[in-house]
Amino acid sequence: MLSPYRSILSHPGTKAFAAAGLLSRLPIAMFNISFILMIQIEYNSYEMAGRVAAIGIVCWALQTVPTSRLVDRIGQRAAMIPLAVVHVIGVALGVWAATSGQAEWVLWIAVMLASIQGPLGSLTRARWSNILHTDKDIHTAFALEGALDEVLFISGPALATILATTVWAPMGLVVSAVGMVVGLAILLAQTATEPPTRAHTGGSSLGLKVPAAVVAATFIAFGLGLMFGAFDISVVGFSEEQGFKSWSGVLLGIVAAGSFVGGLLYGTRHWRTALWKRTVLGTVALAVGMTAVAFAPSVWAFAVIGFLAGLAIAPTLTNADTIVQRMVRRDQITEGMSWLRIGMGIGVAIGAWAAGYLVDHVGAHAGLYLAAGSAIAMFGMALVAAPVIRKGTERPEVRDSDDVHPPSQRDPDEWVEQPPIGPNV
């Protein structure tokens, strides 16, 4: 079973850049939760933590496509070194501001700078595509990268919370930034595997001519983001109320593990059920699961129910991505899926902001109720959007197309940078 991986890792330089790439991606799993924990601990305010997290996610969403295009245009070394410098400046400013009790606007500037991270998830995937010559090998490499990403999303939040709650409030940010710098230093030093810069393909942009089904999927992604933003903040508050604050990252990791398992199971079948029906059913499952989580009476019950609720996360995101895949040309896939990421980012921003207020002024369960309400609202959006999605995706030329793989199993031409918000795996 491991022979395909041994084969691709036998190429010169691959072990080094795969390990370095994993290290450089630490911010994807640790940055957001670490910033939230640092602010909550230093300022004793979930509301402020939610506001700052909201600003960061919006900035991340807006920088994703431009920085990815920059890397393609001028190369990984030329683009990522200045981007890494900006990220480190933002992290350093944030740590200084939080530990010295500076005004909130300073934290806003810090998180905006730190959210300019560049396409961390795409650097090693581009290198695999550059050095491997068969589709089979490239697919194996992407499967390896997907598995490594799951390790990050399951263990990263747990590590971040342990560091923040038992060592030092900003320690998760420090470890994340140091890991990124060390990983990038090793990765970018390997010039032999760096892909060449890409000339303009001459393909046309979507611009404002966005298909109606893509707009519909964007609203569903907005609801998913709203749920994520409320959930992350509320889990920290819930764990603290239960007397297990250092377990908040573990709980997020358990939900992420559920999403991983759900994605694996979902991706093993060729579904005959129409895409629009699966989209609605996925949102139903999330609405039921998140509602059950909101009423969990203890950390232990939360862990069990959270895992089961997480099973529907990756399939729901996969359905939204598949809608875009079927509606746009291959040379427009990054731009098309960026609409989903932006919609999700805006949803996370609003959800984190609102949940922070609720956790501070009402209680952690109020934030969890908001996450459940967001999932229910997403189901409502899916119902309203179903006719539009059906009309767009049931056309004969696209109806029988294969689905996009779940996030952990992306094919090379399906890969789009994923947002740094757990448990989005």
**Complete DSSP assignment for 289-309:** HHHHHHT--SHHHHHHHHHHH
pLDDT at 407 over 70: no
Other Cβ atoms less than 10 A from the Cβ of 134: the count is 9
In a domain, residue 164? The reply is: yes
Domain count within the chain: 1
Query: End-to-end distance of the chain based on CA atoms, in angstroms?
Result: 23
Q: What CATH number should be reported for the domain holding residue 147?
A: 1.20.1250.20
Tokens of 315: 């399939």
Contact yes or no for 197/73 (Cβ under 8 A): yes
Separation CA 33–CA 53 (nearest Å): 9
Contact status, residue 418 vs residue 348, Cβ threshold 8 Å: no
User: What's the number of CA atoms in the CB half-sphere (13 Å) around residue 287?
Assistant: 18
pLDDT at position 186, please? 95
Of the listed ranges 58-72, 96-110, 175-189, the least confidently predicted one is 58-72
**Residue 415: CB atoms within 10 Å:** 23
- Is 47 part of any domain? yes
Tokens of 208: 């404002």
Task: Give residue-wise pLDDT tens across range 203-223.
Answer: 555 666 778 888 999 999 899
Range name among 178-192, 312-326, 378-392, 411-425 with the lowest pLDDT average: 411-425
Q: Which of 324, 133, 108 is nearest to 216 (CA)?
A: 324
Residue 181 belongs to some domain of the structure: yes
- Is residue 178 a part of any domain in this protein? yes
pLDDT mean over 76-93: 96
What was the pLDDT predicted at 397?
58
Residue 163 scores a pLDDT above 80: yes
Tens digit of each residue's pLDDT (9 = 90 or more) over 282-301: 999 999 999 999 999 999 99
> For position 283, what pLDDT does the model report?
96
pLDDT of residue 68: 79
Average pLDDT over residues 83-95: 97
pLDDT band at 305 (very low <50, low <70, confident <90, very high): very high
Q: Burial, 204: exposed, middle or buried (Cβ in 10 Å; 0-12, 13-18, 19+)?
A: exposed
pLDDT in tens, 20-78: 999 999 998 889 889 989 999 999 999 999 899 889 988 988 888 788 778 878 889 99
In a domain, 424, yes or no: no
Which of 132-146, 248-262, 269-283 is predicted with the least confidence, judged by mean pLDDT? 132-146
Q: Residue 401, Cβ neighbours under 10 Å: how many? A: 13
Distance of CA 392 to the CA centre of its chain: 26
- Mean pLDDT across the chain, nearest whole number? 85
Highest mean pLDDT of the ranges 108-112, 138-142, 146-150, 242-246: 108-112
Distance (Å, whole) CA 25 – CA 17: 12
Predicted local distance difference test score (pLDDT) of residue 424: 47
Kindly state whether residue 309 falls inside one of the protein's structural domains.
yes
Residue 425 has what pLDDT? 43
Residue with tokens 């999303």: 153
Going from the C-alpha of 153 to that of each of 163, 292, 314, 419, the distances in angstroms are: 16, 23, 13, 11
pLDDT of residue 396: 61
Q: CA–CA distance from 141 to each of 14, 137, 320, 375 (Å)?
A: 10, 6, 24, 34
Q: Does residue 3 belong to any structural domain of this protein?
A: no
For residue 332, give its domain range. 11-198+206-414
Task: Say if residue 410's pLDDT is above 60.
Answer: yes
For the cut 70, the answer to whether the pLDDT of residue 86 exceeds it is yes
d(CA 214, CA 62): 18
H or E segment to which residue 140 belongs: helix 135-166
The rounded percent of the chain whose pLDDT value lies above 90 is 44
Instruction: Determine if the peptide bond prior to 82 is cis (ω within 30°).
Output: no
Tokens (6 digits) for 278:
């699966």
235 within some domain: yes
